[in-house]
Amino acid sequence: MIYVTGDCHGDFHRFGMKHFPEQKEMDRNDYIIICGDFGFWSDTPEEKYWLNWLEGKPFTTLWVDGNHENFTRLNELPVHTWRGGKVHFIHPNIIHLMRGQLYNLEGHTFFTMGGAQSHDIQDGILDPKAPDFEQEYWFKRRTRQWFRVKGVSWWPEELPSEEEYEEAVRNLERVNWRVDCILTHCAPTSIQQKLDRNYIPDRLTDFLQMVKRRCQFNYWFLGHYHRNCVVDDRFIVQWEQMAELQWE
């Protein structure tokens, strides 16, 4: 069994038995896939508790990164190969699926391209090394501005690097641009515009637009937009719902 869900931001209550009783029939060869913003954020006792709790579940948890992850921590982890693609092991059964990779799950090919541009930074990104950081920080807090702090709540690695784009293209060319399922956090530009025209296209959404045009696929799952809906039949936007992936 493969279930797909959306952004968690470190809140894993939806995987409890009360909300997800289907796990009674699952084992380590069954998967829950999270479409970004998993919540690998800060090395705190609370986070350790919930990661251990999730590791104790009968299924294996897989996730692509969103824009709200601590990329400094992620990039310090060793890279392994799993099911054909590069991964980070958060725990033995909590696995980060890296960008531009191909994986074989239950005989089906999955392409992953995590990341997204933050849309809650309208009022700027503060550098904690700046001499006026404290003054600016508390002014923005008092005036309820939308901002983030570099290296604390925002990382430039939220968008893919040139190397990650290049590796994604190489991997898709290797399978002649044919996969069964695509997993991302944000949407191709045309799909994003259908969801909300207030979102501004960026290099990643334009790259995914190219993938949409060139790649043959059955399903495309994504998160990021905090809603549950289907766009153009094959694009499934996930937030809190758990959808079982079934092949025709």
For residue 45, how many other CB atoms are within 10 A of its CB? 7
Whole-model pTM: value is 0.94
38-42, 68-72, 111-115, 224-228: the lowest-pLDDT one? 38-42
Please report, for residues 78, 112, 114, the alpha-carbon distance to residue 36 in angstroms, rounded to integers and kept in the order given. Answer: 20, 11, 7
- Token pair 């694009």 in the structure block, residue: 235
In the prediction, which pLDDT does 227 show?
A: 94
Angle (CA) 48-49-52 rounded to 5° is 85
Q: How many residues does the chain have?
A: 248
Residue 248 has pLDDT above 80, yes or no: no
pLDDT tens by residue, 14-40: 999 999 999 999 999 999 999 999 998
- CB distance 32 to 61 below 8 Å: yes
- CB distance 237 to 185 below 8 Å: no
In the prediction, which pLDDT does 114 show?
A: 98
pLDDT, mean of residues 38-66:
94
Using only C-alpha atoms, the chain has a radius of gyration, in whole angstroms, of 18
Residue 123 has pLDDT above 90, yes or no: no
Residues 6+ apart with CB under 8 A from 10: 38, 39, 41, 47, 50
Please report, for residues 31, 82, 137, the alpha-carbon distance to residue 133 in angstroms, rounded to integers and kept in the order given. Answer: 43, 42, 6
pLDDT, mean of residues 100-125:
93
pLDDT tens by residue, 160-199: 999 999 999 999 999 999 999 999 999 999 999 999 888 8
Residue 96 has pLDDT above 80, yes or no: yes
Phi, psi of 145, rounded to the nearest 5 degrees = -85, 160
Write down the mean pLDDT value for the chain: 94
- CB distance 35 to 9 below 8 Å: no
Give the closest residue to 226 by CA, choosing from 243, 207, 239, 242: 239
In the prediction, which pLDDT does 24 show?
A: 95
Query: What is the H or E stretch that residue 211 is in?
Result: helix 203-214
Q: Kindly indicate the confidence band of residue 214, based on its pLDDT and cuts at 50, 70 and 90.
A: very high
Residue 151 has pLDDT above 90, yes or no: no
- CB distance 125 to 99 below 8 Å: no
In the prediction, which pLDDT does 126 show?
A: 85
